[in-house]
Amino acid sequence: MKTADQLLVKQINKMIVLNTIYKKRPVSRAEIAKITGLNKSTVSALVDELLVEELVLETGIGESQGGRKPVNLSINQEVGHIIGIDLGVNYILSVMTNFAGEIIWEKRIDCQAAYSSSPAQRIAELELLIREAMQQAPPTVRGIIGIGIGVPGIVNYEQGLILSAPNLGWENIGLRSIIEQQFGVPVFIDNEANAGAIGEKWFGAGKRADDLLYVSAGTGVGAGIIINNELYRGAKGLAGEIGHMTVSLDGFPCSCGNTGCWEEYSSEKALFRYLKKYRDIRTLTIFDVVKEALAGDAVAREAFQYVGKYLGIGVANLINAFNPQLVIIGNSLPLVGDFLMDELKQEAAKRCFAARYFSIPILSSQLNMHACAMGAAALVISRLYASPVS
């Protein structure tokens, strides 16, 4: 009889093998053993189990290295589907992916401003969108494997509890239990910037970076921090709340209760505060302002440049603190492109101590507005079947 410790070791090894197949596909059993350091017989036994469970498939014959030609393995991308949610302040974006992380359905709905809708109303909108996604799912072996949700706030990711989401007006919302009870599938919840970092690491601009910062610049500002291929959460899982760094002692009041927070100068809130001096902003969305700037509107462009300057100041501080290989700017603000990014890069280069010695790329998100939702989908894969984010 195997002990509990032996069963745990086997499960961990099985997750490592599946994660290797996911990342390196197509890959042979011998290559898996070489990559993971597991012995060949252990790999073979675990692969056999994964084949029986239909999580992986044999996908053809590889090149011979002097002996018998190896059988290549890949993920069974049709074993089941995953729903990834970006629970924005004024929108909800849902994607449904196959097991390989390819989007097969998506929908974004616009919502009332957070301050004018209750948590119950926003959760009801979320549930309707999840139900619609499930109705669109083609038949598979395992159906809907799980749901991942990125939330703009402080999250106890182990409990699926939203401790505080100031821009939503939420406090102590047990979102995971609500959604699991409603739909009967595993639910994983994380901060939206963490989800965005995971999305870029798995599927976007951060694939080759071991150490990266993902800065989510939208209604608020937050960061997902990946160090040595792992998401850095801090002692209590609250790392990355960079938008609430104080940058002005007597600055604008923030929804968190403090004053002078960085996000009051570098987010959509700052953009609309700038625009308000020149026009009526009551019916404008961030996507409207992006279109205006791209169409040549001078005031809209000035607003993005103003916000880009402040984003650059904060990014320089983050580079000095973390020394990443790469910084990725995501969420809504970088959708405008160079009008924001040029100003950001210029300000960061001027203020970044590390830039005196080597260049640190600062890129717009490769996944654009999909980063959080795709990262939320990756949460399901990583928590159920794989190791954290590497």
Give the tens place of pLDDT for each residue, 332-360: 999 999 999 999 999 999 999 887 788 89
The DSSP result for 214-225, as a single string, is EEEESSSEEEEE
Q: Is the pLDDT of residue 191 over 90?
A: yes
Per-residue pLDDT for 212 more than 90?
A: yes
Is domain 4-75 classified as CATH 3.40.50.300?
no
pLDDT tens digit string along 296-329? 999 999 999 999 999 999 999 999 999 999 999 9
Q: Tell me the average pLDDT across 101-122.
A: 83
Q: How far is Cα 111 from Cα 172, in angstroms, rounded to an integer?
A: 21
Q: pTM for the full model?
A: 0.89
So where are the chain's domains?
A: 4-75, 81-196+372-385, 205-366
pLDDT tops 60 at residue 1: no
Q: How confident is the model at residue 115 (pLDDT cuts 50, 70, 90)?
A: low
How far is 389 from 158, CA to CA, in rounded Å? 16
pLDDT at 295: 96
Confidence band, pLDDT 50/70/90 cuts, at residue 387: very low
CATH number of 81-196+372-385: 3.30.420.40
Confidence band (pLDDT; 50, 70, 90) for 34?
very high
* Residue 366 CB contacts under 8 Å (≥ 6 apart), including other chains: 200, 204, 205, 328
Quickly count: other Cβ atoms within 10 Å of residue 294's Cβ.
14
70 upstream amide cis, omega within 30 of 0: no
CATH fit for domain 205-366, picks 3.40.50.300, 3.30.420.10, 3.30.420.40, 3.40.50.1240: 3.30.420.40
Residue type, 237: G
With beta carbons less than 8 A apart as the criterion, state whether 74 and 89 touch.
no
Burial of 133 (0-12, 13-18, 19+ CB in 10 A): buried
pLDDT confidence of residue 106: 96
Q: Looking at residue 204, what is its pLDDT?
A: 93
Domains 81-196+372-385 and 205-366 share a fold: yes
